[in-house]
Amino acid sequence: MNRRALALVHNVLPEYRRAIVGTLLPAMESRGFLVEIRAADEGEALPAPGEVDLIVVTGSADSVHDETLAWVEPERQYLQDAVATEVPILGVCFGGQILAAALGGWVAPSAHPEHGFTPVRTTRPGLVATGPWMQYHYDTISLPDVVDVIAENDAGVQAFVSGPHLGVQFHPEISPECFAAWRDGFSGTKGDMSDHGVDLGGLARAIAANAEIAARDCDLLFERFLDHAGLGESTVL
């Protein structure tokens, strides 16, 4: 029987939703998950947390700390409900930030935004490897003491765990198609990546050159996350 996964996307035009999930989508589907993609910012009906086996929360052009966004607080509350029902959550970049908020942490603008492939220092290399991992963010995470930070770099928290949940600041799901969806598929006032002064052409070339390795690293991270969450092949009948 197939397991059910929910992938939450944000500010994404409908035709780019699958690409935004990136290499996490084949990682889930190849392991027998039926993946439902829903836009958290568009008021779409979401399954009750107990109706899914796994939640993956992807990135966003917006910020968790932006109080003008009416959809952020309902999504945070939804993830709090998922935490209470022990549904494993994998949060990526914005997804990791809003997971941190659901766990009692907070998110603020970073003094050290990151763009490109960057290594991290990890205390759990059997779960989160040193990378390098793709980064594209302007915010930083702070966490309460009850949440275990397992990877950092000079810019701040890069990965954390709480029970079956894993949040990462980086983008393991990156692929050329995913990056193209970032550039063309994000909607809203903050969706234009050209406004940030980043060398997008150079970044696209680096992503293309590292595509095979990045896909392998994402698949391995997802496999390790499933084992951590008790959903791996060795822990599921």
Could you give the CA distance from residue 198 to residue 205 in angstroms, rounded to a whole number? 13
Dihedral sign for Cα 7, 10, 14, 18, please: negative
Could you give the CA distance from residue 193 to residue 213 in angstroms, rounded to a whole number? 25
**In the block, which residue shows the tokens 């930083």?**
140
Could you give the CA distance from residue 216 to residue 213 in angstroms, rounded to a whole number? 5
**pLDDT tens per residue, the chain (237 residues)?**
689 999 999 999 999 999 999 999 999 999 999 999 999 998 889 999 999 999 999 999 999 999 999 999 999 999 999 999 999 999 999 999 999 999 999 999 999 999 999 999 999 999 999 999 999 999 999 999 999 999 999 999 999 999 999 999 999 999 999 999 999 998 866 666 776 788 999 999 999 999 999 999 999 999 999 999 999 875 543
Q: Residue 6 has what pLDDT?
A: 98
Could you give the CA distance from residue 61 to residue 116 in angstroms, rounded to a whole number? 16
Q: Residue 22 has what pLDDT?
A: 98
Q: Residue 197 has what pLDDT?
A: 81
| Fold held by 3-229 | Rossmann fold (3.40.50)
Could you give the CA distance from residue 81 to residue 143 in angstroms, rounded to a whole number? 19
Domain limits, the chain: 3-229
Q: Residue 234 has what pLDDT?
A: 53
Query: How confident is the model over 1-54, as pLDDT tens digits?
Result: 689 999 999 999 999 999 999 999 999 999 999 999 999 998 889 999 999 999
Instruction: State both tokens at 229.
Output: 């969450």
